[in-house]
Chains A and B, each alone.
Chain A
């Protein structure tokens, strides 16, 4: 039997890698993928708790999280395309024109 704490640790590690990716990557698309990774880490934890508590609710949450992730990816990639069209780059440091 694998204890739930191991699953939660894997979730925490994946979330940490996602945070590192968002903070250090300069490529906009890789940053988006890191956000997807963080959502997935949360999904893993939800599923692990659903299994430990023997309730189906966690799986319904995962379903909703997947929907949000899909919507976020669609809008985010549309923004990437528009920004690339205007600046010819995906380097996030170049997109500071809304900086105060």
Chain B
């Protein structure tokens, strides 16, 4: 077994292990940490494929920003996994869930194995690669020429996401904490009533 293969198998196993632990954990904080483990292993796979820049982006943006946002929300809501969230659906529907996901996986696996992807299937993807592959320059050139419009459209998407997040998470007017003058008004009203 060459070093290539060893690195691949170790990081693939760590990625799958992290993902599995993520969905079986009770405590959401532990889930987030296992997902970070899985993402770092996937970043190793990216590096092995020669896309160093995307590996850095994966670690910085995903593990560093998106998952910290998840942690932030979990800690804001003070979730410690004490609530019983076990799957209490019917045994038949539970079986169907596993069956459907298994079927999906088998379908994907057959698509890979049966040569549907053509002559690409036989190619090795690690080892030597052209120097420019995966460089920032190469990604920038393709992103700002061929895919300029999709790239610009993502800015609209992000703007919509910002506005949406602010609007959705905003408190309604009537559950704002009551102000001091309102407290005074209410105590006067109570006195009058009393």
> Assuming A15-B108, A40-B62, is B100 touching A29 (CB within 8 A)?
no
Q: Indicate which residue in B15, B38, B146 contacts A57 across the interface (CB closer than 8 Å).
A: B146
Complex contact A74–B121 (CB within 8 A): no
Total contacting residues, chain B, CB less than 8 A: 90
CB atoms of A81 and B157 under 8 A apart: no
**Residues of chain A at interface, number, CB under 8 A:** 73
| Min C-beta distance of B54 to chain A, whole Å | 6
B148-163 near A? 1/0 per residue, CB < 8 Å: 0011001001101110
Taking a contact as CB atoms under 8 Å apart, the answer to whether A64 and B112 are in contact is: no
CB distance from B59 to the nearest CB of A (A): 12
Are B73 and A52 closer than 8 Å at their CB atoms? Answer: no
Contact digits for B133-151, partner A, Cβ 8 Å, 1 yes 0 no: 1100011011100110011
Q: A10–B12 contact, CB under 8 A? A: yes
Could you tell me the distance in whole angstroms from the C-beta of A87 to the nearest C-beta in chain B? 11
Query: Which residues of B are found within 8 Å of A26, using beta-carbon distances?
Result: 85-87
> What total of A-B pairs shows CB separation below 8 Å?
242
Residues of B within 8 A of A63 (CB): 54, 57, 139, 143, 151
- Complex Cα distance, B102 from A20, in Å, reads 8
| B70–A32 CB distance below 8 A | yes
- The yes or no answer to B181 lying at the interface (CB within 8 A) is no
Neighbouring B residues of A9 by C-beta, 8 Å: 109, 112
Compute how far the CA of A30 lies from the CA of B21 in the bound complex, rounded to whole angstroms. 11
Q: Which residues of B contact A (CB under 8 A)?
A: 4-5, 8, 12, 15-16, 19-20, 22-23, 25, 28, 31-32, 35, 38-39, 42, 45-46, 48-51, 53-54, 57-58, 61-62, 65-66, 69-70, 73-74, 76-77, 79, 83, 85-88, 94, 97-98, 100-102, 104-105, 108-109, 112-113, 117, 120-127, 129-130, 133-134, 138-139, 141-143, 146-147, 150-151, 154, 157-158, 160-162, 164-166, 168-169, 171
Given contacts A23-B100, A90-B28, could you give 13 more A-B pairs where the C-beta distance is less than 8 Å? A4-B124, A8-B108, A14-B38, A16-B105, A47-B54, A54-B133, A59-B54, A60-B147, A68-B157, A72-B161, A73-B69, A78-B164, A89-B83
